[in-house]
Amino acid sequence: MAEWLFPNGLSLREVIRSIVDIGVIAFFVYELMVLAKGTRGWYIIQGLIIFFIALYICNFLGLETLSWVLDRFVMLLPVALVILFYPELRSLLEEIGKFGFWTGRHRLFGKKGAHLAAIDEIVQAVKNLVGKRIGALIVIENQTRVDDYIYQSIPIDAELSPHLIESIFYPGNPLHDGAILIRGNRIVAASCILPLSNKEELGTNLHTRHRAGLGLSELTDAVVIIVSEETGTASLAHGGNIQQDVSEQRLREILSHIFLGETKDVGKNKA
């Protein structure tokens, strides 16, 4: 039986094979970009785009010396890309290994009931810390793994609860310095040292703890809650912005918007 051919001579089987081949590559490139978005890897992608545009312009204008230099960099790109995108590639392989693509990995806590329970426990813990004026730094991981942006930490791996959060930050506890890291419905680490923000326009009332929370939010999509023992208020850093004096209701609305996708108005007070 003769196989049906396209006008360009390709068979239907070859066309399907090409579509699948390109589709799989496009899928993994897209997932890598999603993981890189909001991190330093995203800026690397932008830099690579500018690099290839510059290479094309040099070849178009006939700038032979500059083209030769850029061509040498192209030869090193395969190895360089593995090194530059190591955190994102590792996260991508982890998600594949746990079938994260097929189970709604873009939501932090899993099912909606678990979402609400985790948010309730975090909000309750913050309320108690604010009421007792206990300083705290709480990192809630979103899509991007933050391990590579934390300088040091002490593993905890305990079930999330308001009492545990309060006990960690209670003055005198050896673990109260630094931040805790929440992943899903578990506290995975404490005494985490975060990168500080270099923003010069921050107010004088924002100290090291606030700069640390804002710094991590500039590099990842994590949500960082900062409780000040000086003012007895909570602040929230996300996406490189910080909101100060966040009420209990406001905190719940923002977390529900970010992790549950609820569309209730959560406008930002930028700093």
Statement to judge: residues 139 and 170 lie in one domain: yes
Statement to judge: residues 98 and 116 lie in one domain: no
Contacts of 228-236 with C-beta under 8 Å, sequence gap 24+, read 228/135, 229/133, 229/134, 229/135, 230/135, 231/205, 232/130, 232/131, 232/133, 233/130, 234/126, 234/129, 234/130, 235/206, 235/210
Q: Which residue has the higher pLDDT, 99 or 146?
A: 146
Domain assignment of residue 269, yes or no: no
Lowest mean pLDDT among 61-70, 87-96, 141-150, 154-163: 87-96
Residue ending a domain, among 102, 122, 143, is: 102
**Tens-place pLDDT, residues 167-213:** 999 988 888 889 999 988 889 999 999 998 887 766 666 788 899 99
Query: pLDDT at position 243, please?
Result: 92
Share of the chain above pLDDT 70, in %: 75
**Tens-place pLDDT, residues 9-52:** 667 777 788 888 888 888 877 776 766 665 566 677 778 888 88
pTM of the model: 0.64
**Which residue do the tokens 């805790």 mark?**
180
Statement to judge: residues 83 and 140 lie in one domain: no
The domain containing residue 30 runs over which residues? Answer: 12-102
Query: pLDDT at position 253, please?
Result: 93
Statement to judge: residues 136 and 189 lie in one domain: yes
Domain assignment of residue 5, yes or no: no
Statement to judge: residues 188 and 210 lie in one domain: yes
Statement to judge: residues 17 and 143 lie in one domain: no
- 245 phi-psi bin (left φ>0, alpha ψ -120 to 50, beta other): left
Statement to judge: residues 79 and 163 lie in one domain: no
Statement to judge: residues 38 and 80 lie in one domain: yes
Domain assignment of residue 232, yes or no: yes
Query: CATH no. for residue 236?
Result: 3.40.1700.10
Residue ending a domain, among 102, 127, 156, is: 102
Statement to judge: residues 30 and 129 lie in one domain: no
pLDDT of 146 strictly over 60: yes
Domain assignment of residue 199, yes or no: yes
Q: What is the mean pLDDT of the chain?
A: 80
Statement to judge: residues 125 and 58 lie in one domain: no
Domain assignment of residue 190, yes or no: yes
Query: What's the domain count of the chain?
Result: 2
Lowest mean pLDDT among 95-99, 118-122, 182-186, 198-202: 95-99
Statement to judge: residues 142 and 95 lie in one domain: no
Residue ending a domain, among 102, 137, 172, is: 102
Domain assignment of residue 18, yes or no: yes
HSE (side-chain half, CA atoms, 13 Å) at 56: 6
